Chain A
Amino acid sequence: MSVWEKIEELEKQIDKFKSLSVEEHIEVDEVIVILKEKINDLHKNLTSWDRTRMARHIDRPKFLDYVPKLFNYFQEIGGDRKFKNDNAIICGLASLDKRKVVVIGQEKGKDTSDKIYRNFGMSHPEGYWKTIRVMKLAEKFGLPLLLFVDTPGAYPGIGAEERGQLVAIAENLYELSGIRIPIIVTILGEGGSGGALALGVGDRLLMMENAIYSVISPEGCAAILWRDASKAEQAANALKISAFDLKEFGIIHEIIQEPGGGAHKDFNAAADKLKKSIKNSLNKLVKVPIDELLDQRYNMLRKFGVFKEK
């Protein structure tokens, strides 16, 4: 049984006791306190692998679920003006309460046919060309940029290589590092490798509590370093990919707390918290003169890394 199943089991027991107390007038407060403590303990001890499973949970809210919760206006805009529209990345013009913003998000899809339509959130180069076009549009009109990351990675395929996946990702990094508008990045679920980083450069990095962010998928790492893809759990924990790990490393600025059992358990609460954090960050960022903001962004990027120098 996974930790998440154990937590679910305990939550069911709490519900049972609660209904017992109503129906049979039995005193259950003490039992519920104990059960809640157990849940808290389980939460505290969640490993990177547990978070990975939650980040990929079938019921986990996706980018398009967040859109109506975060924005009172949203108009999708599509196309890279070169080859085709990539459905794994969605761009749009939006209002965050009264503030106009430009939004770019990775979408994995809901049911099977939608997942196929979204290519499971794995972009081709045209997706990354689209994001460059749209971020330049945002820059032209001085609109803040909100990026939302949720992808297993950039798509590894023949067409993707033919059309220059490597150049497309590199150019995104290049553009984001110097684009003259405030950028907020939120990692919603899976932050998989270079395909995630291509939308992962900004002035503030937020991460949902059960999201992960990794240089390689745990399975990929296990296949290479353990020569056994089933060692993914070990690899995930060794790679230290949870929001708490990344906060400790000083890489992300803020963890957005999720309801017990994950964001899907009380999606409204999770989305509310995220909206509040984005608005807070944005209110601060728009006050910083743009040249100062770019200096701060550069210094932040330059500090990524640990090494020694004698």
Chain B
Amino acid sequence: MTAWLKKSILKKKEPDNQWIKCPDCAEILYKNLLIDNINVCTRCGHHFRLSPDGWLGYLVNRGTFKEINENIQSVDPLDFSDAKERYVDKLNRSMKKTGMKSAIITGVGKIGKQKACLGIMNFAFLGGSMGSVLGEKVARLFEHAIELSLPVILISASGGARMHEGIYSLLQMAKTSAAIRKHSEAGQLYISIMTDPTTGGVSASFSALGDIMIGEPGALIGFAGPRVIEQTIKQKLPPKFQTAEFLYDHGMLDMIVNRKELKSILIELLTFFG
């Protein structure tokens, strides 16, 4: 195929990629407008996933974010391959696709007048799964916050464990929880924000240990995956099961916050505890 032909095919495809259908209200949304609206459906308020860049652009004062530990990368401690491919190949593919080296970006930035340590997970990187790198970056973020006497805001999006790293993946739950305890004992604030989805090992460790826990509307949040539960109990799950609203009703979250109001709420909380 000539380069010209390739280009023209790509061009032809482009217009379709400019549009996205809302899974809640079926409205066809123009992508650029959706991005301007921090990925919240302009018609029904459905919250689409937001990339770390999107979050930083929205929450953090321009030019104030300094990333830390950006060079930590995954290795393949078990020499793991599944039915389709080697773990290292999967990692390389994800790094290329997302332009990130791991499923989380961590650093320090300013939100309003307040400085805070920030962690933002990226679901697009292997489903935001937790391996050694994610655990290490989260633990270091809390340790950095202790040194600087700063609060931590962590935005979760994760399908659970990075099975390819086996037991190391599981142990990150203990590692991150221990670091959070140190930060808490230092008297610092931790705000945990759970976005769609926050499940498995991430949900049952650092995400669930916030002084203040915030869910995004409609986000799937839970320990066990809904399919696993359905197979175990052999019944249909009730509607709204494991949504942020369900968790709020059962006393697991402090509040559900629409993304468009999140920034002002965070500024209020940081000011209140600051």
A170 within 8 A of B: yes
A167 within 8 A of B: yes
**A304 and B208 form a contact (CB under 8 A):** no
Residues of A contacting B185 in the complex (Cβ-Cβ under 8 angstroms): 178
A-B CB pair tally, cutoff 8 Å: 195
Interface string of B154-180 (1 = CB under 8 A from A): 000000010111111111111101111
Partner of B233 from A157, A238, A239 at Cβ < 8 Å: A157
Classify the secondary structure of B's interface with A.
Answer: helix
B75 within 8 A of A: yes
Give the interface residue-count category, chain B.
35 or more
**B170 and A158 form a contact (CB under 8 A):** no
Number of interface residues of A (CB under 8 A): 57
Residues of A contacting B73 in the complex (Cβ-Cβ under 8 angstroms): 307-310
B217 within 8 A of A: no
**B167 and A166 form a contact (CB under 8 A):** no
Residues of B contacting A216 in the complex (Cβ-Cβ under 8 angstroms): 161, 163
A181-220 CB contacts (< 8 Å) to partner B: 193-194, 197, 200-201, 213-216, 220
**Chain A: CB-nearest residue to B78:** A240
Partner of A306 from B69, B75, B232 at Cβ < 8 Å: B75
A102-140 CB contacts (< 8 Å) to partner B: none
Most buried by B among A166, A173, A240: A166
A122-176 CB contacts (< 8 Å) to partner B: 154-158, 160-167, 169-171, 173-174, 176
Q: A170-B205, A305-B136, A307-B74 are in contact. Are A246 and B167 (CB under 8 A)?
A: yes
Q: A166-B252, A167-B208, A174-B177 are in contact. Are A158 and B81 (CB under 8 A)?
A: no
- Interface stretch (choices A30-38, A59-67, A222-230, A257-265): A222-230
**A241 and B167 form a contact (CB under 8 A):** yes
- Interface stretch (choices B28-36, B43-51, B222-230, B263-271): B222-230
**B83 and A226 form a contact (CB under 8 A):** yes
**Nearest-CB distance from B44 to chain A (Å)?**
26
A56 within 8 A of B: no
**B174 and A301 form a contact (CB under 8 A):** yes
Q: A194-B223, A214-B166, A307-B75 are in contact. Are A177 and B82 (CB under 8 A)?
A: no
Most buried by B among A173, A227, A241: A173
Residues of B contacting A308 in the complex (Cβ-Cβ under 8 angstroms): 72-75
B139 within 8 A of A: yes
9 residue pairs of the A-B complex, CB under 8 angstroms, read A162-B250, A167-B204, A173-B174, A194-B201, A194-B223, A302-B178, A304-B132, A306-B75, A307-B136
